[in-house]
A = this chain, B = another copy of it.
């Protein structure tokens, strides 16, 4: 293969890798701002997140096309091919993270029609801090092609799942205490679920980094700690036996 083609392939790869980092930064800011909009009832900020999602979608579509053209033109093999395929997968996860940020932003109005105790919103803020930290960590691991750091990100997702489970339980209890909380808490439940999903996408990205670097899939699925799918909460003061969390 002559020097010129090699260099040009490298340029294309560098372009793709740089775009992934840019998209990662955009997705991260969307999540930060959507949660900030939720906490501060900032509808203007929420709207700007919704608008940014269009840009992130377009960036993903463009990266996809670029990556596919690179594969068709350069026919890369082994790690080179994994780099491009990995970039397609990561940009897909980043686009979905942006979607989840947008979904949170869209709930800002409903959550604040009734004033909620600051404690509940703080729980969501703390959950989002964990998720954003995971996202930053996995984007750094991508830049450094550090598959061990990526593995640590995957393992830390348990913490997000555990905190989501606790917020889910708290929100349900709060709804039962006073039916006036039900509307807002429902939207907070969906927001919390969206943040928990952001953690899952950080995990996907970690697994893709591992695949790019090693050519292997990461060892078997870690146990999931989000047990809310089977969770019920007893009505306070009701005679019914507490249903427990199904954990």
Contacts and interface: CB of A to CB of B under 8 A. Distances in A.
Interface of A: 64-65, 68, 71-73, 75-77, 81, 85, 88, 92, 103, 106-107, 109-110, 113-114, 172, 175-176, 179-180, 182-184, 186-187, 189-190, 193, 229-233, 235, 238, 240, 243, 246
Contact of A109 (B65, B176, B230): B230
B180 A172 contact: no
Given A72-B71, A231-B110, A246-B109, A172 B176 contact: no
A182 B172 CA distance: 7
The secondary-structure label for the interface of chain A is helix
A184 B232 contact: yes
A113 B246 CA distance: 10
B230 A110 contact: yes
B187 A189 contact: no
B106 A230 contact: yes
Contacts of A190: 193
Shortest 3 CB-CB distances between A and B: which pairs?
A: A183-B232, A106-B229, A109-B230
Contacts of A232: 110, 113-114, 183-184
A40 to B, nearest CB: 17
B187 A229 contact: yes
B186 A179 contact: no
